[in-house]
Amino acid sequence: MVNRQRSLLVALSLSLAATPGLLAGTLTVRPGVPNNGGSARFAGSQGLEIDVATPNRNPAFVQSSHPAAEPTYRARFYFNPRTLTMADGDQFDLFVAYDGADPAPPTITGNAVLRLSVGQAAGVKQLTAFARLNGGTESQIATPISLANAWRSIEINWAKATASGANNGRLDIWVDGRPQTGLTGLNNDTLTINYVRWGAVAGVDAGTSGTFRLDDFASQRTGYIGPAFPFSDNPTASSFFPFIQGIYAAEVIPECAIGTFCPNNAITRKEMAKFLLLARFGASYTPPACTVAMFTDVPCSHPYATWINEIAREGITSGCGAGVYCPDGNITRSQMAVFLMVARGLPQAPCPPSTFLDVPSNSPFCGWINQVAAQGVTAGCGGGNYCPETLVLRGQMSVFLSVTFAIPTHVVGP
């Protein structure tokens, strides 16, 4: 069987045969906004945003009519629940594949062969998967998969059993490129997939409101699809790849231009202030308004003033000297050690001895550098050295922030 892939690359791409179910909930095309530090996109320049309407919660979805009685089906897409509010116990179907004749939305024909449902428990959003069996019941994965409030890559691989009684149907799941516990041994040889829906497909509960975003839907019959590659300068062979993909998905560090991340560009002190707070508190965080400038070279009219004022208020920095912050200056690796550990609420580690050959025990940074090493944030720059005066680059910053604040990375799976 020949592979066939369809992608939602820009807006409602015709290659997806997209039909929006514009009912009470609202589905809109959302432009990607480059270089703003609070947005991300994975395909083209646009994605989708679902507004879960209140109080009417009828579906809003895109339908792909490309499947045709498929015995195997694979799909991968990006989902961001950051601005979605749910009550514990609430859920809705995010992705559903059906076996009926291709209908005009909102009509449903046939049965739901597989479902991906998003819910919330103990304040954490979760993904649960269900697969229909021959007798009409569903098999459900044993443990829901936790979803952080950022862009998540979700890939599924469904196959019906090869024959009656074979009981070898399956549903495999990957999140951010990592395999999750799926379903095997399914008795589902009589089922096929004929069309799929993606969005707020069904069952939106009363405690759910706000919006969520979707991007880069791709489907095919067989074979791993894998991650989207938003940056031409972040090859999978790079040791920075999973960190850059993850920090971008968390909406902490944006692209430097459309399609590029600029991993070898130096971080400025003003950027550091914003990235540090977004990594610590999440992409929904907004610092208090600037009413009184804390540094003479950062007036309240400065675009980074609120971020710089906040890291000063929190004692993360006192500036670069005599009441100034030097917003356009760069950050050295020794300075970054202080910023990271103070933001984490960690003290200096003992020094002497120094962990690194090029960091003297009498250096004011020695204890902080020892602490970032003790926390596993960095192993240095090689040869037993730390390179304390080397500037921090965007690729390195992705690693520092990801490890310090436990931001999930994205990898290439099987």
Check residue 93 and give left, alpha or beta (phi > 0: left; psi -120 to 50: alpha).
beta
Q: The whole model's pTM is what?
A: 0.91
Tokens for 228? 């989207």
335-376: pLDDT as tens digits: 999 999 999 999 999 999 999 999 999 999 999 999 999 999
- Which residues does 56 contact at the CB level (< 8 Å), separation at least 6? 24, 25
d(CA 147, CA 126): 5
Give which of 283, 270, 145 is closest to 213, Cα–Cα. 283
- 309 by Cβ neighbours in 10 Å (0-12 / 13-18 / 19+) ranks as buried
Q: Give the domain ranges of the chain.
A: 6-220, 241-404
Q: How many other β-carbons are positioned within 10 Å of the β-carbon of residue 413?
A: 17
Which of 375, 297, 378 lies closest to 342, judged by CA?
A: 375
Contact 213, 203 (CB under 8 A): no
Cα four-point dihedral sign 326, 329, 334, 336: positive
* Residues sharing a CB contact under 8 Å with residue 198, sequence separation 6 or more, in sequence order: 61, 62, 63, 64, 77, 94, 95, 214, 217
For residue 303, what pLDDT is reported?
A: 95
Within 13 Å of residue 377, how many CA atoms lie on the same side as its CB? 28
Strand pairing partners for 6?
Answer: 219
Residues in the chain with pLDDT values less than 70: 1-25, 30-39, 44, 54-56
pLDDT of residue 35: 44
Residue 138, C-beta contacts closer than 8 angstroms, at least 6 positions apart: 115, 130, 131, 132
Rounded CA-CA distance 250/233 in Å is 19
User: What single letter denotes the amino acid at residue 354?
Assistant: S
Retrieve residue 16's tokens: 């997806």
Cβ-in-10-Å burial (0-12, 13-18, 19+) of 103 comes to middle
The highest-level CATH class for domain 6-220 is mainly beta
What's the burial of 34, exposed, middle or buried (CB within 10 Å: 0-12/13-18/19+)? middle
Q: Are 165 and 111 in contact (CB under 8 A)?
A: no
How far is it, in rounded angstroms, from Cα 108 to Cα 258?
39
Q: What are residue 185's phi and psi, to 5 degrees?
A: 65, 30
For residue 279, what are its two tokens? 């990594």
Q: How many CA atoms lie within 13 A of 253 on its CB side?
A: 30
Q: Give the relative orientation of helices 269-281 and 394-404 as an angle to the nearest 10 degrees.
A: 30
Count helices and strands (H / E) in the chain.
6, 17
Whether 287 contacts 270, CB under 8 Å: no
